[in-house]
Chain A
């Protein structure tokens, strides 16, 4: 059974800092690993999707990497801004089905 874990649960950094959010998964038989952003009281917005054949994806100041062999993915945020404050969730879609399994998220606070 796939389990997705995100550490730390919460993170507070000063504005301008580069930071890394971690995601680990137990079953490497995945179609993809997806990173989402969730603002308080809102739905989730997909940021990046890394397919199993890819190693990384980039969008603006965001870079996500995937290492299936070690069961890990990281989301790198460059030059953090207060507007980046949100909860970031990762999710793995297993092969052989349509189920996407989520981690509990990392709550990020960027201080001005």
Chain B
């Protein structure tokens, strides 16, 4: 009953460092996505994928990279962390991405100093 698993749960970075947030799902979902949640602003879509090898940009893609080499995994890469990227990051998935409930991971709290 793992569902959507995100690692790590907490991370502190210095400005300019890079890192990868991991997301894995075991529900054979084609659609996976990354959101960031900031106080008072709700969740904003960063990138999404509709299947292995297919990714597209969301509302706030700058400063983030993604790739989808397998159905199960959808990592989010911060190339050069900035304080503006301090946020809580959520990964979400659904079977095919259209007209279906979204399943969320428990989030990664990232602080960039």
Please give the residue numbers on chain A whose beta carbons come within 8 Å of chain B beta carbons, in ascending order: 4, 9, 31-32, 34, 36, 41-46, 49, 51, 89, 91, 93, 98-105
5 closest residue pairs by CB, A with B: A43-B104, A104-B42, A46-B101, A102-B43, A102-B42
Chain B contacts of A32 at CB under 8 A? Answer: 99
Chain B nearest CB from A96 CB (Å) reads 10
Q: With A93-B98, A104-B41 known to touch, is A98 a contact of B50 (CB < 8 Å)? A: yes
What string of 1s and 0s marks CB contacts (under 8 Å) between B77-102 and chain A?
A: 00000000000001010000111111
Please give the residue numbers on chain B whose beta carbons come within 8 Å of chain A beta carbons, in ascending order: 4, 31, 33, 35, 40-45, 48, 50, 56, 58-59, 90, 92, 97-107
Q: In the bound complex, do residue B107 and residue A42 qualify as a contact, i.e. CB atoms below 8 Å apart?
A: yes
Our pick among A4, A45, A91, A98 for the contact of B97 (Cβ within 8 Å) is A98
Q: Which residue of chain A is the closest to B106 with respect to CB atoms?
A: A43
Chain B nearest CB from A28 CB (Å) reads 16
